[in-house]
Amino acid sequence: MVAVAEGTLRRTPLYDEHRRLGARLVDFAGWEMPVQYAGIRAEHEAVRTRAGLFDVSHMGEVAFRGPDAERALQRLLTRDVSRLERGQAGYAAVCLESGGTVDDVIAYRREEDFLVVVNAANREKDLAHFRRHTSDLDVEISDETEEWALLALQGPASEEILQRFVGRDLSTLGRYRFVREEVGGAPAIVSRTGYTGEDGFEIFVSPRDAPSLWRRLIEAGAAPAGLGARDTLRLEAGMCLYGNELDEETTPLEAGISFAVHLDKEEEFVGRQALRRQREEGLRKKLVGFELEGRGIARHGYPVAAGGEEVGVVTSGTMSPTLNRAIGMAYVPPDLEDGLAVIIRGRPVPARIVPLPFYRRGR
Amino acid sequence: MPEIPQDLQYTRTHEWVRIEDGTATVGITDHAQEELGDVVFVELPEPGSSVEAGEPFGTIESVKAVSDLYSPVSGEVAEVNRTLEESPERVNEDPYGEGWLIRVRISGQPDLLSPEEYASRLEEEE
């Protein structure tokens, strides 16, 4: 992957593949990324029923090395990193002292160090935050984004497809576990993680090996899928998207990802005091899932009303391709149970709060 | 290249118009449906309401985005395509046929593009 001059969009090692497949490309966090190939619905369905292949090479990879690598992450992440075994990954938030969320990340504990996958749009902000809070520690924090291409193979057929390229029995690889493994002869990290609500793998390979692996996985039956389908899939699965559900004004507790917040871990972490206080005093807002009961589609930023008053805001919304209903997530007052409406272009459309996720695989 | 039927007229905002006996049937072009992607919702005016040339008369939503629909003509809405309430994907499948949006009884002289003019506009946009 080659860095390009300022003012132009960065391209992943798979850019030529996307062009060849006729993808519609858009500016996404400064990267020229495929939003769709065949169509969002078709790609979404491919992931739910068979397998889809995403280029997520724009995501940032940051390595933490040195004697204090674990201490650094204990301080920076809400998760108790000491409980991660080698070959295990964990979802975590990065917080400000205020408890607001800097980013949501996945930390991989490798043999000798950690790799942290961060959101493309937050990479530089994260690096500055990481360094600012660890300057007293013996840790080397390096941006390895350009050293990795990242492919996400997602869907019920993904194990069967990937198995054709891997010597090891993949059925023994548990969720949120990863291995160093050759994939089709190329050195890779194979991780059983994803962002679609399906079984699947994320495959880290060198940029040089990425195009041929991409082509071979498609030949083996994976449908190329773009950022459009990635968004409808993650929304059905009730997963947060940074910039929508998460931002610096929102804590991970409010966003409903408290499973990634280990308030009682031994080391102090940035934001813990604020989060403890919030836990004691109660949340100012909570993230809920809703279904529209009237016609229309809720979108990011639309106001939410209850009792004739504006009480919240939609963070994400779409027509769910799997459920064929207009669904969304919104921040509302923590005690609100029902009687809400989404204001769609000035018109209140009744909505019903429903449990998250909207979709769970195997149902 | 998107399909541009020769027997229709067009707008700069990618609607098409078929005028027969003072009534205009209105839809969005093949190019527009392709740009939008999967259409999941169409909001149309009630029959009897009036529309103004160049003004929004409804909205169309795809999985990713919401867009305004602009009326190519002024007049009174005579009919709306109710099929789209249940099957908005018709707009993608058959934009010039079953995916039509509204029929308008025209008042005044509409200012529309010929197929050639619309095609050259599309080329300029490329």
B61/A contact by beta carbon, under 8 A: yes
Q: What is the mean pLDDT of residues A78-84?
A: 98
pLDDT of residue B109: 84
Q: Check if the beta carbon of residue A314 is closer than 8 Å to that of residue A300.
A: yes
In-domain check, residue B1: no
What total number of domains does chain B contain? 1
Distance CA A107, CA B60 (A): 41
For residue A319, give the nearest of B43, B59, B63 by CB distance: B63
A191: its two tokens: 């991780």
Whether residue B63 and residue A326 make contact (CB cut-off 8 A), yes or no, is no
Q: Quick check: is B120 in a domain?
A: yes
Alpha-carbon distances of A186 from A40, A57, A165, A208, A214, rounded to whole Å: 30, 16, 10, 10, 12
Closest chain B residue to A227 measured between Cα atoms?
A: B64
- State the Cα–Cα distance between residues A85 and A107, nearest whole angstrom: 11
Taking contacts as CB-CB distances below 8 angstroms, the residues of chain A near B61 are 297, 319
ipTM: 0.78
Residues of chain B with C-beta less than 8 angstroms from the C-beta of A228: 37, 63-64
Tokens found for residue A258: 């408290």
Q: Does A202 appear as a known binding residue? A: yes
Task: List pLDDT tens digits, range B14-65.
Answer: 999 999 999 999 999 999 999 999 999 999 999 999 999 999 999 999 987 8
In a domain, B96, yes or no: yes
Q: How far is A27 from chain B (nearest CA, A)?
A: 14
Measured on CA atoms in the order A160, A166, A169, A170, is the torsion positive or negative? negative
Q: Which domain holds residue B107?
A: 9-125
Q: Show the domains of chain A with their CATH numbers.
A: 14-56+148-237 (3.30.1360.120), 58-144+251-281 (3.30.70.1400), 285-362 (2.40.30.110)
Identify the CATH number of the domain in which residue B80 sits. 2.40.50.100
Instruction: List Cα–Cα distances, B83 to A350, B66, B68, B99, B102, in angstroms.
Output: 23, 19, 19, 8, 11
Residue B38 lies in a domain: yes
Environment class of residue A308 by beta-carbon count within 10 Å: exposed (0-12), middle (13-18) or buried (19+)?
Answer: exposed
* Residue B4 covered by a domain: no
Contact B64 A40 (CB under 8 A): yes
pLDDT in tens, A213-242: 999 999 999 999 999 999 999 999 999 999
Contact A228 B85 (CB under 8 A): no
Across the interface, whether the CB atoms of B59 and A345 are under 8 A apart is answered yes
